[in-house]
Structure 1
Amino acid sequence: MAGRVHPRQLAFALPHAESLTRDNFLEGPANAAGLSLIDAWPEWPSRTMWLAGPEGAGKSHLAAIWAEEAGARSTTAHALSAANVPAALATGALVVEDFKPGAFDERALFHLLNLAREEQAYVLITARTAPSSIEIELRDLRSRLRAIPVVSLLEPDDQLFRALIVKYCADRQLAVDEAVVSYLATRIERSHAAARGAVELLDREGLRLGRPVTRALAVELLRKP
């Protein structure tokens, strides 16, 4: 008699909501400068500010907090065009997210900065690097960008890193104990992206295997070859 074939459990990639409120922001030395900038508004050193930091460092979270406070609209650098600049600045405040080399219209950005200055609007630009490291063809735009004050976010210290792991688990409604958090904190790269990726892996594989997320599962999945 042939053995029974058990159906494989499927792991569905469901979206996981991440709260971007002020109360839900995890504070630490790595992001203190960014949080101080947001809390200082509208007393900024310049009406246009640049928030730089590695992937997952909290740039979007801080931008969302400021947008709520300032009534700012949000767009991405890639989506910005000369035609939509006036509408983007309609509320007098704008977040321009995810500024990447080669992935934006230089003339549209130059138009934005000029119009923002003319209308005394506030602009917060987020990117992984400072503008001085980005190649710009338009000389006037290059000069304008490099004059923007930069506030930098850093990779997390140990305390913040552990708190991030707990938060990413909570965002996915994963119940984990201290053993899991401690194992992850000492086995993966200390970065926001690595913490998010490890928790995503544990969640996905735990669901697929029908197993709770424990230290034993973490050891199996993260053991180096």
Structure 2
Amino acid sequence: MAQIPLDLAPIAATGFDSFIITDTNRIAVTALRAWPDWPAPIMLLLGPSGTGKTHLGKAWKDLSHGLLADAADEMEETALFAQMNQALNGEVSGMLLTSDKPITEWGTQIPDLRSRLNSTPVMVMDDYDDDVLEPILRKLFEDRGRIITKDLVDYILRYQDREVGSLRALVRTLDEAALAENADLTKYFAAHFLAGRLERDLFSGPID
């Protein structure tokens, strides 16, 4: 009988010390940790989806107790403008914006908000390559209490979606599947399970 998986994995740490620092994010992390010695009360953390902006934003908020506008480009403009005014007026200890889009692509309609955004210093994070993704993937498994082999890492990075959010979801799925079947989480298990899931997806949809 298959076991019912219980989510007993340890809660992943979210502070600066648990963040994997690489050449793609080192400058941004250093700038964030330099608070309160920032060049301006408001800073923007810019980078592709899945590069750890939310993780770093929460770490900075815990450090500074300032305002965090995660995915600031999706915020309602008057609310964002009001929060930026609080930071500029010294009513809060600082403000961090995050986005995966340059400010020029936000489509900001309020002229004063657009002006303030354009004057906000930017910290840039670049996308990840394999040398960066491998330790991230290993850490995602370690957060669930698993040590994985190099061939499983290589298989996942070669054949699966490499965005970190997708990798996190995949790690959870594979971990729960292995627990349910009381199986070791190997490359063979992952390949067999994912092939079976793909087959189920292909044949479970409507037939045209």
Question: Which consecutive residues of structure 1, in runs of 5 or more, have no partner in the other structure?
Answer: 1-6, 73-92
Counterpart for residue 114 of structure 2: 142
Secondary structure at 1:66 match in 2 = helix
Distance 1:216 1:50 in 2: 43
TM-score w.r.t. length of structure 1: 0.76
Counterpart for residue 94 of structure 1: 67
Distance 2:112 2:154 in 1: 50
Deviations 1:127-146 (A, max 9, x none): 22222211222121122222
Q: Which of 69, 82, 92 lines up with 1:111 in the alignment?
A: 82
CA, structure 1 residues 55+17, in 2 after alignment: closer, same or farther (shift >3 Å)?
Answer: farther
Deviations 1:7-66 (A, max 9, x none): 443334567511012221101122123212113322323220011223331112222332
Counterpart for residue 191 of structure 2: 219
Secondary structure at 2:184 match in 1 = coil
Q: Which of 51, 55, 62 lines up with 2:56 in the alignment?
A: 62
State, as a whole percentage, how many aligned pairs show the same letter.
27
Deviations 1:141-164 (A, max 9, x none): 122222212222222122211001
Counterpart for residue 23 of structure 1: 17
Q: 2:4, 2:180 within 8 Å by CA — same for their partners in 1?
A: yes
Q: Is 1:44 equivalent to 2:16 in the alignment?
A: no
Distance 2:176 2:84 in 1: 43
Secondary structure at 2:70 match in 1 = strand
Counterpart for residue 89 of structure 1: none
Counterpart for residue 202 of structure 1: 174
Q: Figure out how many residues of one structure are paired with residues of the other and give that number.
A: 196
Deviations 1:169-193 (A, max 9, x none): 0111123222222322332243322
What amino acid maps onto 1:38 in structure 2? L
Q: Is 1:159 equivalent to 2:153 in the alignment?
A: no
Q: 1:30, 1:157 within 8 Å by CA — same for their partners in 2?
A: no
Q: Which of 5, 16, 21 lines up with 1:11 in the alignment?
A: 5
What amino acid maps onto 2:167 in structure 1? A
Counterpart for residue 203 of structure 2: none
Question: Which consecutive residues of structure 2, in runs of 5 or more, have no partner in the other structure?
Answer: 200-208
Distance 2:6 2:106 in 1: 38
Q: Which of 27, 34, 38 lines up with 1:33 in the alignment?
A: 27
What amino acid maps onto 1:21 in structure 2? G
Shift of 1:100: 4.2
Deviations 1:57-96 (A, max 9, x none): 11122223322332x1xxxxxxxxxxxxxxxxxxxx3222
What amino acid maps onto 2:71 in structure 1? D
TM-score w.r.t. length of structure 2: 0.81
Q: 1:38, 1:66 within 8 Å by CA — same for their partners in 2?
A: yes
Q: 2:10, 2:145 within 8 Å by CA — same for their partners in 1?
A: no
Shift of 1:220: 1.5
Distance 2:6 2:101 in 1: 34
